[in-house]
Amino acid sequence: MEKVIKIGLLGSGTVGSGVIKVLEMNRRQITERVGAQLQIKTVLVRNLKKPRPYLRGIHLTDRFEDILNDPEIDIIVELIGGLHPAHEYMLQALEAGKSVVTANKDVVAQCGQDLFEAAEKNRVDFAFEASVGGGIPIITPLKQCLTANRITEIMGIVNGTTNYMLTKMTECGSSYADVLKEAQEKGYAEANPSADVDGLDAARKAAILSSIAFNTRVRLDNVSVEGITKITPEDIAYAKDLDCVIKLLAVGKDSPETGVDVRVHPVLLPKSHPLASVNGVYNAIFVRGNAVGEAMFYGQGAGSLPTASAVVSDIIDVARDMVNGSFGKVRCTCYEQKKICPLSKTVSSYYIRLLVDDEPGVLGMIATTFGSAGVSLKSVIQTRQNVKDHAEIVAVTHPVEHARIQQAVRELQELPVVDEMRNLLRVENDRG
Ligand code: NAP
Ligand code: HSE
């Protein structure tokens, strides 16, 4: 008789229902690949009255204890989201000797360490492939397929909502407010879009990716975060003039001199960069390793079936461990203590857009101010505005420390000829 591995599913929303569908759709292959049958025994939900026709024959409950205390259930799959009670449920499951699979970036980014410790102590598995990049395999490739490398850089488009919005602004010249409304109507952005547009969703994923890539614990408060709310159609148009596109990137760099630098912010990305052509709701993660060179992982970063693809793969991995009588092949990989590079010491090129008086000597004053702050300019564009006697200046700098550019901006704002500091964005250009 074939062994049956029983699963408790916490949550049956977008991803939970996708997991049920994938397990059903690919049942035969999955059974053969695992060497045992996978069966969802019980599903935890909040509202027992909601119609869920796809749950035929599966026991439904609104009490977590029904799953936790069921000795037949060996794997708990957490898909309710948010920090609480998801964190407590996962911890209790691990302490009860059940392996845990999750897609929850909030918990992994903020409480990953205690979950890893509980898994190890109780000799069970803890897997979280779907917490970054939805259906894109990236956690397992970093932990396994690329583990022969020293990873020096990881850079990703890890938020589909903002990538959709920036793509629409680029393709149609629309305003931020208009594309946000459209993204909400299409169901990409939530009614409260803050976690996406302010960069927090991407920051959680940046913390998870950097912790794994650089083998050191990167906490959420180590990530400097800037969202896309200040991007205007004018910035998008100037980016095009500079042969760039604007993308919200999660960036992690590891340097023996300056430490680990992890941030999320919009950047002007040269059109030649592999990430520049990742459009719409798609995600991609670009990795640089000292043996593999450059590698990029691309696909759907969200959605019911794509995310379920990653969750079910984790379930299969855990089930294979059970069939083989093993656990935790790849344990927590944060075994080094590395210093975190303070934001002031991070180095980037910058794009600065200023509204200035349109009169003789103004460009000279601005160039002198940059020079005295120690900022070297790469290019300057000046366009006449339809505001009388004013011009807009866009300067692009050579790489410079964040503290220096901040000093230059303060000094520029004090010049009587500078009327408005319109935007300051990073430019990503160092591929090599
Ligand atoms: P969702 O559609 O909102 O579904 C959440 C499910 O959890 C619902 O079935 C809900 O029950 C249940 N639930 C919520 N709080 C609960 C509680 N306190 N007790 C019991 N049940 C509770 O969420 P989702 O989009 O599937 O996301 C699930 C997880 O996957 C999140 O961590 C999310 O970040 C992650 N993720 C999602 C995507 C995506 O494309 N959606 C992509 C990558 C990762 P009711 O049905 O009764 O309301
Ligand atoms: N809100 C996320 C996005 C999906 O827009 O990509 C879940 O991680």
Residue range 107-115: mean pLDDT, rounded:
96
User: Domain of 248?
Assistant: 139-300
pLDDT of residue 104: 98
In a domain, 210, yes or no: yes
Question: From CA 195, how far away is CA 198, in angstroms rounded?
Answer: 6
Atom of ligand 2 nearest to the CA of 105: 8
- Largest distance between two CA atoms of the chain: 89
In a domain, 329, yes or no: no
Are residues 270 and 158 located together in one domain of the fold? Answer: yes
Q: 43 alpha carbon to ligand 1 midpoint, in Å?
A: 12
In a domain, 338, yes or no: no
Tokens of 185: 């109507």
Residue 270 has pLDDT above 90, yes or no: yes
In a domain, 263, yes or no: yes
pLDDT of residue 431: 57
Residue-wise pLDDT for 394-403, tens only, equals 999 999 999 9
Confidence of residue 423 (pLDDT cuts 50, 70, 90): very high
Are residues 292 and 144 located together in one domain of the fold? Answer: yes
Residue 74 has pLDDT above 70, yes or no: yes
Are residues 159 and 293 located together in one domain of the fold? Answer: yes
Are residues 294 and 167 located together in one domain of the fold? Answer: yes
pLDDT of residue 282: 98
Domain boundary among 300, 335, 367: 300
Which ligand neighbours the alpha carbon of 165 most closely? 2
Residue 429 has pLDDT above 80, yes or no: no
Q: What region does 217 belong to: left with phi over 0, alpha with psi -120 to 50, or beta?
A: beta
Atom of ligand 2 nearest to the CA of 301: 6
Domains held by the chain: number: 3
The span from the first CA to the last CA of the chain, in angstroms, equals: 56
The CATH number that applies at residue 211 is 3.30.360.10
Which ligand neighbours the alpha carbon of 195 most closely? 2
**Nearest CA, atom 2, ligand 2:** 159
Residue range 225-241: mean pLDDT, rounded:
97
Q: What percent of the chain has pLDDT over 90?
A: 93
**Nearest CA, atom 4, ligand 2:** 302
pLDDT of residue 384: 66
The CATH number that applies at residue 357 is 3.30.70.260
Question: From CA 71, how far away is CA 344, in angstroms rounded?
Answer: 53
Residue 154 has pLDDT above 50, yes or no: yes
Please indicate whether residue 81 or residue 383 has the higher confidence score (pLDDT).
81
Q: 81 alpha carbon to ligand 1 midpoint, in Å?
A: 5
Are residues 395 and 409 located together in one domain of the fold? Answer: yes
Residue-wise pLDDT for 157-204, tens only, equals 999 999 999 999 999 999 999 999 999 999 998 889 999 999 999 999
* Among 403, 60, 426, residue whose Cα is nearest residue 248: 426
The catalytic residue positions are 205
Atom of ligand 2 nearest to the CA of 188: 5
Residue range 226-239: mean pLDDT, rounded:
97
Q: 102 alpha carbon to ligand 2 midpoint, in Å?
A: 15
Residues comprising the chain, all counted:
432
Are residues 174 and 247 located together in one domain of the fold? Answer: yes
pLDDT of residue 310: 98
Q: 13 alpha carbon to ligand 1 midpoint, in Å?
A: 5
Are residues 122 and 181 located together in one domain of the fold? Answer: no
pLDDT of residue 432: 47
The CATH number that applies at residue 312 is 3.40.50.720
Ligand 2 pocket (Cβ < 6 Å) reads 159-161, 196, 201, 301-302
Are residues 162 and 291 located together in one domain of the fold? Answer: yes
Please name the amino acid found at residue 342: P
Atom of ligand 1 nearest to the CA of 11: 7
SS3 for 276-305 is HHCCCCEEEEEEEECCCEEEEEEEECCCHH
Q: 161 alpha carbon to ligand 2 midpoint, in Å?
A: 6
**Nearest CA, atom 13, ligand 1:** 80
Mutation pick for ligand 1 pocket among 307, 309, 311, 312 (CB with most ligand atoms within 8 Å): 307
In a domain, 333, yes or no: no
* Mean pLDDT computed over every residue of the chain: 96
Residue 138 has pLDDT above 60, yes or no: yes
In a domain, 27, yes or no: yes
**Nearest CA, atom 7, ligand 2:** 302
Q: 377 alpha carbon to ligand 2 midpoint, in Å?
A: 36
**Nearest CA, atom 43, ligand 1:** 134
Atom of ligand 1 nearest to the CA of 86: 18
Q: 18 alpha carbon to ligand 2 midpoint, in Å?
A: 16
Are residues 93 and 143 located together in one domain of the fold? Answer: no
In a domain, 331, yes or no: no
CA-based R_g, the chain, Å? 24
Which ligand neighbours the alpha carbon of 13 most closely? 1
Which ligand neighbours the alpha carbon of 200 most closely? 2
pTM here? 0.97
Are residues 296 and 216 located together in one domain of the fold? Answer: yes
Are residues 293 and 178 located together in one domain of the fold? Answer: yes
Ligand 1 pocket (Cβ < 6 Å) reads 11-16, 44-47, 50, 79-81, 85, 103-105, 130, 134, 302-303, 307
Question: From CA 135, how far away is CA 314, in angstroms rounded?
Answer: 11
pLDDT of residue 383: 81
Are residues 393 and 413 located together in one domain of the fold? Answer: yes
Residue 211 has pLDDT above 80, yes or no: yes
In a domain, 350, yes or no: yes
pLDDT of residue 330: 82
Residue-wise pLDDT for 288-346, tens only, equals 999 999 999 999 999 999 999 999 999 999 999 999 999 888 888 899 999 999 999 99
pLDDT of residue 385: 67
Atom of ligand 2 nearest to the CA of 162: 5
Tokens of 389: 């006697």
Tokens of 179: 């594309």
